[in-house]
């Protein structure tokens, strides 16, 4: 996919992986809607990006992805300003085992809603011209993380939903490729949650164990996750792929047995 002039929407764009995604998309000539709950970080991010790229190429939208109307409105604004939509990165996520209901809402419900909204605009079934959706999961979407059972559940949900909706898209010829990325630990502010009792909840006792895990497996630079995103955008055959990213193996894929014979519908 040539990214020049393409329109992307990135959630959780103010910092961490989402910000790195947004910078990379702008560098490749795309226009980017930067969605984030954190107004001050979002505005600071937009200002910094304007110093490097044409200010008209990006738009910051204050948006809580967990609030249905706010997310709908952000998609609408993006299309009103940029005229189309080609790429959606459902990236926003939290690690909060104390308020675990919020973790489900942000990490899983909003990923599903973001995918459906993206399909509303991009699916050929609705007169759209196709596109690519990337849903951020985690290695905790494949392996259980004892320090984060609800985080683990949401990321397993993201992986399962993405694989299933990608199969639907192929069967019904939506023209939209949908994939997921599962990184190990990445150098972003999210890792600070391990030191916060109000985030770790009853699993705060694992604080030092998690730090040892992180030390053992190493911390990935967000630029490697950007490389994963670019691979997904460029390799047209990728749909329903579960991309793992680790220090020891780099970018690679989870291989699953073919479980179902998909029905012919057309
Ligand atoms: N950092 C890691 O080790 C790691 C590893 C694997 C997967 N991930 C996943 O990658 C994604 C990005 O994580 P990160 O490490 O960049 O985190 P981060 O905390 O550094 O950044 C997340 C961004 O999302 C925003 N956000 C949070 N809740 C939101 C909401 N309700 N609405 C809108 N924006 C919201 C935050 O304000 C923040 O700007 C998450 O889905 C996370 O689960 C992170
Ligand atoms: C507690 C801080 C929040 C972490 C968020 C992140 O998404 C969590 C990842 C958790 C699961 C991964 C846990 C352990 C495995 C880590 C690395 C395995 C690497 C294997 C390899 O290098 O081959």
> 56-96: per-residue pLDDT in tens?
999 999 999 999 999 999 999 999 999 999 999 999 999 99
Q: At 224, give phi and psi (nearest 5°).
A: -70, -35
209: CATH: 3.40.50.720
- 209 is in which domain, residue-wise? 7-253
Q: DSSP state, 83?
A: S
Is 73 part of any domain?
Answer: yes
Per-residue pLDDT averaged across 229-239, rounded? 98
DSSP per residue, 184-218: S-BSSGGGGGGG-HHHHGGGGGGHHHHHHHHHHH-
* 260 lies in some domain: no
Helix extents (H) in the chain: 16-27, 39-50, 68-82, 100-104, 110-122, 149-171, 197-200, 207-217, 222-234
Q: Total domain count for the chain?
A: 1
Could you tell me if residue 180 is inside a domain? Answer: yes
Q: Would 259 be classed as within a structural domain? A: no
β-partners of residue 252 are: 244
CA nearest ligand 2 atom 15, residue: 184
96-125: average pLDDT: 98
* Spatial CB neighbours of 125, under 8 Å, sequence gap ≥ 6: 172, 173, 174
Range 239-261 average pLDDT = 93
DSSP state of 53: S
Q: Which tokens belong to 220?
A: 């990935």
16 lines ligand 1 (CB under 6 A): yes
Mutate-to-test residue for ligand 2 from 196, 217, 219, 225, highest number of ligand atoms within 8 A of CB? 217
- Domain assignment of residue 167, yes or no: yes
- Please check whether residue 111 lies inside any domain of the structure: yes
**Annotated catalytic residue: which of 151, 174, 203, 204?**
151
Is 204 marked active-site?
no
């Amino acid at each position: 996919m040539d990214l020049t002039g393409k329109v992307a929407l990135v959630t959780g764009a103010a910092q961490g992986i989402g910000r790195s995604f947004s910078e990379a998309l702008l560098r490749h000539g795309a226009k980017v809607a930067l969605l984030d709950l954190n107004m001050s970080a979002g505005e600071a991010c937009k200002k910094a990006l304007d110093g490097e790229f044409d200010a008209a190429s990006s738009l910051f939208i204050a948006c809580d992805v967990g609030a249905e109307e706010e997310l709908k409105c952000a998609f609408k604004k993006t299309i009103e300003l940029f005229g189309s939509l080609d790429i959606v990165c459902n990236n926003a996520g939290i690690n909060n085992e104390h308020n675990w209901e919020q973790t489900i809402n942000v990490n899983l419900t909003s990923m599903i809603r973001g995918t459906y909204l993206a399909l509303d605009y991009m699916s050929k079934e609705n007169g759209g011209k196709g596109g690519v959706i990337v849903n951020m999961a985690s290695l905790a979407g494949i392996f259980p993380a004892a320090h984060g059972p609800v985080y683990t559940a949401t990321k397993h949900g993201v992986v399962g939903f993405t694989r299933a909706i990608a199969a639907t898209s192929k069967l019904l010829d939506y023209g939209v490729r949908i994939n997921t990325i599962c990184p190990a630990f990445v150098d972003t502010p999210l890792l600070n949650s391990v030191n916060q009792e109000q985030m770790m909840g009853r699993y705060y006792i694992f604080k030092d164990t998690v730090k040892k895990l992180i030390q053992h497996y190493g911390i990935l630079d967000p630029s490697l996750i950007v490389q994963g995103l670019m691979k997904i955008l460029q390799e047209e055959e990728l749909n329903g792929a579960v991309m793992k990213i680790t220090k020891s193996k780099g970018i690679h894929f989870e291989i699953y047995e073919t479980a179902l014979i998909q029905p012919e519908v057309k």
